[in-house]
Amino acid sequence: MYKISKTDEDLKVVIPDNFSQQINQLMFELCKHSGPVTLSYLRYHQQSDGSQRRAKICYITAVSLGLNTNTAKLLAVTVELLHNASLIHDDVQDKDQKRRGQDALWVKASVEEAICLGDTLIVAAYHALSKINTPANSHLQATVCRRVMETIRGQMDDLSPQLPLTEQSYTLIATNKAAPLLSLSVELPALLAGEPSLAKALSNAASSFALAYQFYDDLCDQAQDAINQEPNIVNIRIHELAGSLNASDEDIGTAKDDIKRKILILLDQATSSLAPLPIEATVILQQTIKELKIRIEG
């Protein structure tokens, strides 16, 4: 049996109205010793207003498991710092010039300065964890280290993939890149609440959702990724169907439908993983899964 504290399941009660501003300010505070130039680039990066999905999942899970709001925010900002560091470094490595509708940081500043800010955010994540006074802190840090290394492994595989990419090899790369940091959003609160088995179960569900969301991104970016010759599960499927990317509209439509079915299967797997768990610990993941399912089926 899982021993957790019930709270109001209404997410509006759990998340403060100014949650995003609180997380951004906490990120800024944790990075304050990096100097005014670095902080100015952090403000620039923050102004693009990401969804903070991982931070929200982490915060709600933590509060639902009975952790106090200050601890919940520290866990949430840990995940958010690591996620944003990965975005900044990923843009540099992939040479993506836009991020959330504005120039990527390496374009706005320089490659070297973007790398410095990404490094700062990683260090600040461990600083955030160090502020949680608990005997479990070393276990939390070890978990973060493992998940960050898994993410790096995925990125390394993405930079030097074994060609030609197949659906199987791409899925492995996408899982290693997308799943670890999202898993942290639910693992850290459960571990701190003294629920390692719950942490594992929540992580499995988060992993399935992360891959489903990456495939959804690929659906949205299919045409542009084909032009840029970027790895994309839909274009891999098109190539398998037609033998090349010079495919008919019918082939493209079939490939998209196939990937939509894969996404729905992944979402069903995530839902099944959550089914035996206490509703208080799964409500935010359930809602997030439902929202993506509506997009796919809509």
In a domain, 288, yes or no: yes
Q: Is residue 284 part of a domain?
A: yes
Contact of 65 with 190, CB cutoff 8 Å: yes
pLDDT in tens, 256-298: 999 999 999 999 999 999 999 988 889 899 999 999 999 999 8
pLDDT at 298: 80
Q: Is residue 6 part of a domain?
A: no
Q: Is the pLDDT of residue 71 over 60?
A: yes
Q: Please check whether residue 212 lies inside any domain of the structure.
A: yes
Provide the pLDDT confidence category of residue 244 given band limits of 50, 70 and 90.
low
pLDDT at residue 6 greater than cutoff 60: no
Give residue 54's domain range.
11-297
Q: What is the mean pLDDT of the chain?
A: 92
- Report the percentage of the chain scoring pLDDT > 70: 95
Task: Give 26-69 pLDDT, tens digit per residue.
Answer: 999 999 999 999 999 999 999 987 889 999 999 999 999 999 99
Model confidence at 245, pLDDT cuts 50, 70, 90, reads low
Structure tokens at 91: 């843009």
Instruction: Tell me whether residue 272 is in a domain.
Output: yes
What's the pLDDT at 3? 46
Q: What is the pLDDT of residue 94?
A: 86
- Residue 1 in domain: no
The DSSP result for 210-269, as a single string, is HHHHHHHHHHHHHHHHHHHT---HHHHHHHHHHSSS---HHHHHHHHHHHHHHHHHHHHH
Percent of the chain at pLDDT above 90?
79
Residue 5 has pLDDT above 80, yes or no: no
Mean pLDDT throughout 156-177?
A: 91
Q: Over 70: is that where the pLDDT of 7 sits? A: no
Cα 73 to its chain centre, rounded Å, is 17
Maximum separation of any 2 CA atoms in the chain, in Å: 59
Q: What is the pLDDT of residues 77-123, one digit of tens each?
A: 999 999 999 999 999 998 889 898 899 999 999 999 999 999 999 99
CATH number of the domain encompassing residue 91: 1.10.600.10
C-beta of residue 72 within 8 angstroms of C-beta of residue 59 = yes
Residue 92 inside a domain? The answer is yes
Q: What's the predicted TM-score (pTM) here? A: 0.91
- Long-range contact pairs involving 228-231 (C-beta distance under 8 Å, separation at least 24): 230/94, 231/158, 231/161, 231/165, 231/170, 231/173
* Among the listed residues 129, 293, 135, the one whose alpha carbon sits nearest the alpha carbon of residue 216: 293
pLDDT digits (tens, 9 = 90+) for 177-189: 999 999 999 999 9
Least confident of 2-16, 32-46, 190-204, 243-257: 2-16
Query: What's the domain count of the chain?
Result: 1
Residue 2, in any domain of the structure: no
Phi, psi at residue 127, to the nearest 5°? -60, -45
CB distance 151 to 177 below 8 Å:
yes
Neighbours of 257 (CB within 10 A): 11
- Can you give the three-state secondary structure of 102-166, one letter per residue? EECHHHHCCHHHHHHHHHHHHHHHHHHHHCCCCCCHHHHHHHHHHHHHHHHHHHHHHHCCCCCCC
